[in-house]
């Protein structure tokens, strides 16, 4: 039917649909745990958290894997030239029709490359009634049209890590300015760095309490954390040696970039360019109100 991997899950009493777009180096199957039906699913903690929050709130969750499997990013360009935007509207409409979800609100969530994709999808698919754009919005110029104003965009929540990603913060500020000028409700959530704790690590269903404490202890012993428990270095940095520190207590968990449960959670703690799940429910509530209520 379609040549892009598509996965979805529908709660017992759905009240809406949430399309979720992964970031670069990822795929739609990251949002589900490995199973007999999806042996290649990774079940990464933040993707799983986004899915769980949406299902709990009554949303059917639909994930699609991007066309480009080299960079594993979305093809973020004009709709007529984008291999992804050529396909996504019909894929989503087919799933909605097959599952009897027609007429329910459709929101789009995306992180990094997926954040840009979610906004571009909203511009070409009138059914999209709200967007949660994490980390990377489109270039603000893409929101403008000749003579000022804006293309058709629904209420939009920007979730970004302003402290350690200031360039993206500037882009978000400009995007919000353009959307508000056009009368489109827009708001932002700024995600700050946080301490690496056992509770944070247990956001992964693959990390138990005892192991989580051992990982935190290993990071402290190795000097990776400051007195407040904050990471001293970006976990993605070549200077960071967190993998060597936690390997003895990793218990067989992958430490590979973009695959590691531990790595993703450390990226969240450092708060620079990572998908984050904890604001999903609040973002959905804001969109449900049409952007007419104060966030939180």
Asked if 29 and 165 sit in the same domain, the reply is: yes
Give me the percent of the chain exceeding a pLDDT of 70.
96
Give mean pLDDT, residues 66-94.
Answer: 88
What is residue 292's predicted lDDT score, i.e. its pLDDT?
Answer: 85
Average of pLDDT values for 9-14? 97
| Same-domain pairing of 156 and 208 | no
Residues 251-279: tens digit of each pLDDT:
999 999 999 999 999 999 999 999 999 99
Q: Which of 133, 150, 260, 139 is nearest to 207 (CA)?
A: 260
* pLDDT recorded at residue 38: 94
The pLDDT, as a whole number, for residue 293 is: 81
**pLDDT tens digit sequence for 131-156:** 999 998 888 888 875 555 556 789 99
The mean pLDDT value for 188-194 works out to 97
Q: Is the pLDDT of residue 169 over 90?
A: yes
Structure tokens at 148: 């000022």
pLDDT tens-place string over residues 96-126: 999 999 999 999 999 999 999 999 999 899 9
* Whether the predicted pLDDT of 1 surpasses 70: no
What kind and span of H or E run contains 174?
helix 166-181
| For the ranges 26-35, 81-90, 162-171, the one whose mean pLDDT is highest | 26-35
Residues 160 and 238 in one domain: no
Residue 256 has what pLDDT?
96
Strand 59-64 with 6-9, pairing? antiparallel
| 128 and 116 Cβ atoms separated by less than 8 Å | no
Q: Which residues pair with 18 in a beta bridge?
A: 61, 107
Mean pLDDT within 82-105? 96
Query: What is the residue-averaged pLDDT of the chain?
Result: 93
pLDDT at 79: 63
Are 21 and 147 in the same domain?
yes
Host domain of residue 241: 198-270
On whether both 99 and 117 belong to a single domain, the answer is yes
- Residues with Cβ within 8 Å of residue 280, at least 6 apart in sequence: 49, 50, 53, 54, 109, 132
Q: What is the mean pLDDT of residues 2-15?
A: 94
Same domain, 113 and 81: yes
Q: Are residues 148 and 17 in the same domain?
A: yes
Q: Is residue 293 part of a domain?
A: no
Whether 76 shows a pLDDT value over 90: the answer reads: no
Q: How far apart are CA 167 and CA 272, in angstroms?
A: 11
- Residues 76, 178 share a domain: yes
Going by their DSSP bridges, the two strands 6-9 and 156-160 should be labelled as unpaired
Are 25 and 66 in the same domain? yes
Residue 145: what pLDDT?
A: 59
Q: Does residue 294 fall inside a structural domain?
A: no
Is there a single domain that holds both residue 225 and residue 140? no
Do 152 and 217 fall within a single domain?
no
CB burial of 218-243 (b: ≥16 within 10 Å; e: otherwise) equals: bbeeeebbeeeeebeebbeeeebebb
Overall domain count for the chain? 2
d(CA 230, CA 269): 7
What mean pLDDT do residues 63-67 have? 96
Tell me the pLDDT band of 179, cut-offs 50, 70 and 90. Answer: very high
Identify any residues that bridge with 93 across adjacent strands, giving them in sequence order: none
Secondary structure of 21-64 in HEC code, one letter for each residue = ECCCCCCHHHHCCCCCCCCCCCCCHHHHHHHHHHHHCCEEEEEE
Instruction: Answer yes or no: is pLDDT of 205 > 70.
Output: yes
**Quick one: pLDDT band at residue 40, thresholds 50, 70, 90?**
very high
Q: Is the pLDDT score of 78 beyond 80? A: no
pLDDT of residue 271: 97
| CATH code of 135's domain | 3.40.50.1820
> Domain check: are 106 and 15 in the same one?
yes
pLDDT at position 295: 77
| Residue found by looking up tokens 């952007």 in the block | 291
Q: 71-85, 182-196, 229-243: which range is least confident on average?
A: 71-85
């Amino acid at each position: 039917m379609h040549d892009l991997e598509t996965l979805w899950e529908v709660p017992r009493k759905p009240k809406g649909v949430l399309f979720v777009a992964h970031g670069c180096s990822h795929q739609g199957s990251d949002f589900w745990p490995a199973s007999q039906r999806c042996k290649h699913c990774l079940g990464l903690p933040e993707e799983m958290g986004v899915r769980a929050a949406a299902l709990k709130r009554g949303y059917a969750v639909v994930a699609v894997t991007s066309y480009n499997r080299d960079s594993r990013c979305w093809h973020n360009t004009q709709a007529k030239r984008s291999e992804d935007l050529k396909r996504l509207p019909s894929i989503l409409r087919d799933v909605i029709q097959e599952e009897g979800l027609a007429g329910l609100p459709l929101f789009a969530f995306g992180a990094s490359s997926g954040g840009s994709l979610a906004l571009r999808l909203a511009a070409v698919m009138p059914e999209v009634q709200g967007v949660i754009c994490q980390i990377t919005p489109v270039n603000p110029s893409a929101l403008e049209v000749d003579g000022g104003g804006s293309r058709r965009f629904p209420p939009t929540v920007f979730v970004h890590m302003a402290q350690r990603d200031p360039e993206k913060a500037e882009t978000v500020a400009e995007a919000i300015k353009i959307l508000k000028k056009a009368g489109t409700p827009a708001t932002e959530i700024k995600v700050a760095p946080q301490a690496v704790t056992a509770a944070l690590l247990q956001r992964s269903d693959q990390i138990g309490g005892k192991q989580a404490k051992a990982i935190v202890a290993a990071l402290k012993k190795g000097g990776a954390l400051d007195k407040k428990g904050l990471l001293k270095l970006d976990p993605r940095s070549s200077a960071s040696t967190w993998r060597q520190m936690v390997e003895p207590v990793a218990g067989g968990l992958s430490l590979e970039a973009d695959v590691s449960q531990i790595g993703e959670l450390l990226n969240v703690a450092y708060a620079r360019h990572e998908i984050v799940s904890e604001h999903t429910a609040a973002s959905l509530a804001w969109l449900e109100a049409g952007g007419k209520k104060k966030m939180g």
